[in-house]
Amino acid sequence: MADDIAKQETQVLIYKDSFHPCHVLETLRSLYQRQKMCDVVVVVEKEEIFSHRLILAANSSYFYSMFTNGMSETNQTRITLKEVDSEAVRQLIDFCYTSTIEITEENVQNLLSVANLLQFTTIIETCCSFLKNQLHPSNCLGIGNFADHHDCTELKLAALNYAEKKFLEVAKTDEFLLATYDQISSILKSDSLNVVSEKDVFDAVLLWTRHDLGERKEHLPSLLKYIRLPLLAPKILVDCIESDDLVQESDICMRIISQAKNFHLLPERRDKMQVPSTPRQMDHGAMMYVVGGEIHNQVFNTVQRYNFETEKWDFLPNMHQRRDGVGVAHHAGRIYAAGGCDGDVALSSVECFDAATQKWSFVQPMACGRHAFSLVELDGWLYAAGGSDFSGSEYNTVERYDPVRDMWNSVTPMSTMREGISMVTLDGALYAIGGDSGLTILNSMERYDPRIGQWSACIPMGYRRRYFGAAILKKKIMVVGGSDNDEDHNSFECYDPRMNRWMSLPPLSMRRESPAAVVTDDQLLAIGGAFMNVETDSIEKYDPLSNKWDKFQPLPGPLEGMGVIVM
């Protein structure tokens, strides 16, 4: 009796209010709007913005350092910001209390500039994503220059890549004529400059030079070195390049032309000539590859490719083996298709597709046949984890492949058996998510650090799921669809490592078991899958800026259990 009373007295209830953050934020916003309990005033131009130190420090690294590192402003009640846009500062401080901000074409550059100064990391990332979506031949050079001035490296590279891809259109714009020498030379150096003929590059260089001949004439010889003149026919070299008056006025330019002509006149000496003669790798944009899969128990060895630029599908050479529940990854421009099931048994074989030869070839097989597993690339290794033998035995084993030595070796196994697993890589680590342990469907996630060779448990998902899609979008783990026993999911969750929590996002328009998920242009695609054992060809696209799903170009036919990558 005494023991029963003691047990009752030691019972503990842990209560967690999921709406607590919303209530707190709402109260803080009310205090801010009514200027209550404010302990700091931010002065910008002639505007005074009453706020709270704690809130500013929680949102901005700039204010955090100011209020905690003993700076002169630490104990001041008025903080003056000079030479910044007051409206942008007001928007950022409003964001601290509302978690909402409006970004437009008109305010994005001011907002990014001030957010960069005040170190609002998420706003910087969002503004950069917004500007990426605004890239156009008429503005990409300006956006790239703006990104360079604000140390937004990813945006700068995106703008440069866009300019290379759309070079012929960019060369016709006013921005091109106003571009700096450094911008022009960076574009011309690229192996990915998207031009049919180097004559187009020469014409663009002359156009840019003549726009400000007095200042730019001296740059012509150095720019001419970046043009791959040996790729031009001798007739064009003589009639179009050498005959130009600006070229003829420069001895250095004439020597460069002479070297290009010698490339054609003396083919036996080409190996010793130091002239740029390698054809550029014309950029056709990102491609999506759909490998294997099945419909109505018919397993395929097909490879379908989608061109995001032309919005068309085509077919590549088939794999040697049919594969459902296949693991697919890419490394160094090659596609690897591993394991899966041919309809009868789980496969251990691995095939590699070389885009140059357009052929599949077998490489070293895995240690065991794996179906419904995950294959990912990390730091030059391919990791295969989980799955099953297609006969009722689930795996927690993990092995990795060295493409250089063509060897597999085992690494530390996961803590849990996982069939129907999804795995992603983020910040140098592997994340193994969900799956079926053989006893139950899982919502758990574990993280593998290859530096120490250990797995550690992470915060679980909100839903149990197997046979689902997962991908990385803006340094967050996105999971879509899947199934929990007999129920197919349309749910969509996101894990933020910085916050160490999962968040629910808008659901898919349809339930999907065995979909694939990939990211392109900062958007997530949920591809194919099945609902109640009926396969679909539909693809949905999620845009994090609008927080909505939209329809996307469908697959050539219904499919599930395929591997999908974007290169």
Over the stretch 467-490, which tens digit does the pLDDT of each residue have? 999 999 999 999 999 999 879 999
Banded pLDDT at 512 (limits 50, 70, 90): very high
Q: Which two tokens stand for residue 528?
A: 């194919």
Query: What are the distances in angstroms from CA 312 to CA 308, 309, 354, 539, 560?
Result: 7, 8, 21, 14, 20
Residue 79 pairs with which residues in a beta bridge? 42
Could you write out the DSSP letters of every residue in 62-74?
HHHHHHHTT-TTT
* Residue 281, pLDDT above cutoff 80: no
Question: Which pLDDT score is estimated for 135?
Answer: 94
Mean pLDDT of 309-337: 93
* Residue 376, pLDDT above cutoff 90: yes
Query: What are the distances in angstroms from CA 160 to CA 77, 132, 193, 219, 271?
Result: 44, 11, 10, 20, 31
Contacts of 146 (CB under 8 A, 6+ apart): 109, 112
pTM of the model: 0.65
Query: What are the distances in angstroms from CA 522 to CA 159, 292, 516, 527, 541?
Result: 14, 25, 16, 16, 10
Mean pLDDT estimate for the chain: 91
Banded pLDDT at 183 (limits 50, 70, 90): very high
Over the stretch 125-146, which tens digit does the pLDDT of each residue have? 999 999 999 999 999 999 999 9
Question: Which pLDDT score is estimated for 7?
Answer: 55
Question: Which pLDDT score is estimated for 567?
Answer: 83
Convert 120-148 to b/e letters by CB count within 10 Å (16 or more is b). Answer: beebbbbbbbbbbeebebebbbbbbbbbb
Q: What are phi and psi of 518, to 5 degrees?
A: -140, 165
Q: Which two tokens stand for residue 89?
A: 């500062």
Over the stretch 70-80, which tens digit does the pLDDT of each residue have? 777 778 889 89
Query: What are the distances in angstroms from CA 1 to CA 5, 7, 10, 11?
Result: 6, 10, 15, 16
Domains of the chain listed by start with CATH number: 19-134 (3.30.710.10), 180-272 (1.25.40.420), 287-566 (2.120.10.80)
* Residue 264, pLDDT above cutoff 70: yes
Could you write out the DSSP letters of every residue in 288-348?
EEEE--EETTEE---EEEEETTTTEEEEEPPPSS--BS-EEEEETTEEEEE--B-SSSB--
Mean pLDDT of 552-565: 97
Over the stretch 244-262, which tens digit does the pLDDT of each residue have? 999 999 999 999 888 888 8
pLDDT: which is higher, 266 or 179: 179
Q: Which two tokens stand for residue 481?
A: 């669809």
Q: Which two tokens stand for residue 302?
A: 């097909």
Q: What are phi and psi of 375, to 5 degrees?
A: -125, 125
Q: Which two tokens stand for residue 268?
A: 């036996």
Question: Which pLDDT score is estimated for 222?
Answer: 93
Contacts of 282 (CB under 8 A, 6+ apart): 192, 194, 195, 196
Do β-strands 40-44 and 78-81 pair in parallel, antiparallel, or remain unpaired?
A: parallel
Question: Which pLDDT score is estimated for 1?
Answer: 52
* Residue 340, pLDDT above cutoff 70: yes
Over the stretch 399-434, which tens digit does the pLDDT of each residue have? 999 887 899 999 999 999 999 999 999 999 999 999
